[in-house]
Structure 1
Amino acid sequence: MQLEIRPDPAEVGRARRWARSRLAGSGIRDDETLAETLVLLVSELVTNAVVHTGCPAVLRLSLPGAVTEEATVRLEVDDTSDRAPVPRCVDGDETGGRGLALVDGLADRWGWSREGAGKRIWCELDRCAAGRREPAQVCDGGQVAYEGLAYEAV
């Protein structure tokens, strides 16, 4: 399954809705941690493609044929930019720059590769691992701790 993305920030919301509709038909419930995490990852990777490349992109979602406790979901975003993704270290006051840190913290695996004139960024979520994740906890200062990682809730 794939969705073509225009280089327009409004496409991020459309990508999230598309991902939710695909999950609904797969047997993965909308209220599962896996679904919530996947939609957040779609949002981050599509935002990165739209904001940092200014190029069209393609979002792919690979769902297992039979959803079992060990099912793996794979998300890919291809774009035509040859610029490599670069994780950033940002101050607490910055309004952006945390996307790849979120992907790294939430996905079971992620990476990227050159594809033709562009690149592919991918991540995978294991259903059994997602079910074991500890829920987010709000810490002092408005930060959210998720599996030992802290993100500021804005």
Structure 2
Amino acid sequence: MAPPDLHRVERVGGGDEPEPGDLVVRLPGIPSQVSRARGVVTAALGRDHPLYDDVVLLTSELATNAILHTRSGAGGSFTVTVTCSEAVVRVFVSDGGADGPPCVCRTSAQSTSGRGLPLIEALSHRWGFTRAAGTTTVWFELLQARVPAGVAV
């Protein structure tokens, strides 16, 4: 299997888009690549980052959704972008698009799937999606909490 297409990109525009120095990886739309998407987070943040566990979990959910619910899983690919600053971590997962927009569907307690976007909604500080030119990009951000000096934790 070919290595992932790994590179840094320059900012293309404003708003909720990738920024300079982002880590961007294009992966084949097959289930084994979900673990490689988690590896992108490790490469970008390192395991000691305070938001690492949440970012890995949410990235895994978005990568799984890209494979299961979009054209990426039908022989296509998806792209994972991770950006980090002192204040925020953002992850973008761009896929091959689907017939409808992403759905934060509520599932029953017995359901074995359907919890990805509700997890994103519950754990992220902000999230959203864009649909353009046959692709869908779902993104989330987590804020790094600052504790003032002298405050007991």
* TM-score calculated relative to the size of structure 2: 0.73
Match of 2:83 in 1: 62
CA RMSD of aligned residues (A): 1.7
User: What is the one-letter code of the residue matched to 2:48?
Assistant: R
Q: Point out the structure with the larger helix share.
A: 1
Please, which of 78, 82, 88 is the counterpart of residue 72 of structure 1?
A: 88
In 1, Cα distance between equivalents of 2:45 and 2:120:
19
| Number of corresponding residues | 120
**Higher mean displacement: 77-86 or 38-47:** 77-86
- What are the residue-to-residue correspondences of 1:2-151 with 2, within 5 Å? 2-24=24-46, 29-30=48-49, 32=50, 34-55=51-72, 56-64=77-85, 67=86, 71-82=87-98, 83-128=100-145
Q: Kindly report structure 1 stretches of 4+ aligned residues shifted beyond 6 Å.
A: none
| 5+ long unaligned stretches in structure 2 | 1-22, 148-153
Structure 1: gaps (5+ residues): 132-154
Instruction: Give deviations 1:103-127, integer Å, cap 9, x for gaps.
Output: 0000000001112221111111101
Distance 2:88 2:125 in 1: 10
TM-score by length of 1: 0.72
Residues 40 and 82, structure 2, Cα contact 8 Å, conserved in 1:
no
Tell me, in whole angstroms, the C-alpha distance in 1 between the residues paired with 2:115 and 2:101: 16
> Whole-Å Cα distance in 2 between the matches of residues 114 and 58 of structure 1?
14
